[in-house]
Amino acid sequence: MSSEALKSDSNRIIHIIASLSSPREFQSPLITEADALEVRLDMITEPIGDALHTLRTKFQGPIIITIRSSDEGGAYAGGPDSLWEKIEPHLSNIDMVDLEIRFRDHAQIMKDRNKKVIASCHQNRMPSDNEMKDLIEELHSFGDIVKIAVQPQSNDDLIRLLRITAECPYPIIMSVTGTLFRYARPILCLFGSQYTYCYIDSETSPGQYSIREMQLLAHLLTPGFVDPWFEGRPVRSGDVSGFIERAHAYLKSQ
């Protein structure tokens, strides 16, 4: 199936953020396959002003700017003041700003500049239910979207994470760190995570899928894709009209 058809699948509920770690990726033809873009400014050393402006004119979806601290898996070791100096020049070309708790003091000025704030936290462990509840409330206190990436250590941890995602009362992006439970990345979107992250040329975090891999996963895992030969009849992908009723009737007839 062509990548255009994959993205155009109206049933798709797994939305993809392509995380970009170099201006060369801004020029990739795969850019258009993402639902949103993330510019990982902490991983980029060269000036990006002109390239980001060009990207803005080409890409129709939301553009996020992120400076990930070294404590949370990124490359930025500076403080809040220099963070603002790095982000401010690009505000006219982006829609959302990813802010960790340590940089929460910048949240209000970002909102004043009409930018959505993704309030994020990344941990290489699996917090308890109470810790996750407190973390969600803290992130929601300054962000428009809560974003948490944690590392399940068992199937029970993953089941907890899926439930926490499904029960979250706020807009949320939930992800996993590490590679052990990487398959949960797209599945978390089926439980309410607004996006999943992937890469175009090089990973910005261990365990990410490429955009091509994630596109196919997004199509195949979205409930709208049904067995093409249910009851011996071809069912067009994405057409669930009547499928559930027919399935129940079919089961009753057995």
Ligand X SMILES: O=C1C[C@@](O)(C(=O)O)C[C@@H](O)[C@@H]1O
Q: Which residues are catalytic?
A: 122, 147
Kind of pairing between the strands at 36-40 and 63-66: parallel
Q: Considering Cα of 100, then 103, then 104, then 107, what sign does the dihedral take? A: negative
120 sits near ligand X (criterion: CB under 6 A): yes
Our finding on whether 205 is near ligand X (CB under 6 A) is yes
215 sits near ligand X (criterion: CB under 6 A):
no
| Binding status of residue 222 toward ligand X by CB under 6 A | no
Does the footprint of ligand X cover residue 197 (CB under 6 A)? yes
Ranges assigned E (strand) in the chain: 16-20, 36-40, 63-66, 96-100, 116-122, 145-150, 172-176, 196-199, 209-210
CB of 197 to ligand X, least distance (A): 3
C-alpha–C-alpha distance, residues 3 and 35, integer Å: 13
Rounded Cα gap, residues 145 and 139, in angstroms: 8
- Residue 40 annotated as binding site: yes
How far is Cα 115 from Cα 109, in angstroms, rounded to an integer? 9
Determine whether the annotation assigns residue 212 to a binding site: no
Q: Tell me which stretch binds ligand X (CB under 6 A): 51-59, 187-195, 203-211, 232-240.
A: 203-211
Q: Is 208 in the site for ligand X (CB under 6 A)?
A: yes
Minimum Å gap between C-beta 115 and ligand X is 16
Residue (of 14, 80, 70, 20) closest to 44 by Cα position = 20
CB 122, min distance to ligand X, A: 6
- Stretch touching ligand X by CB under 6 A, among 66-74, 108-116, 236-244, 246-254: 66-74
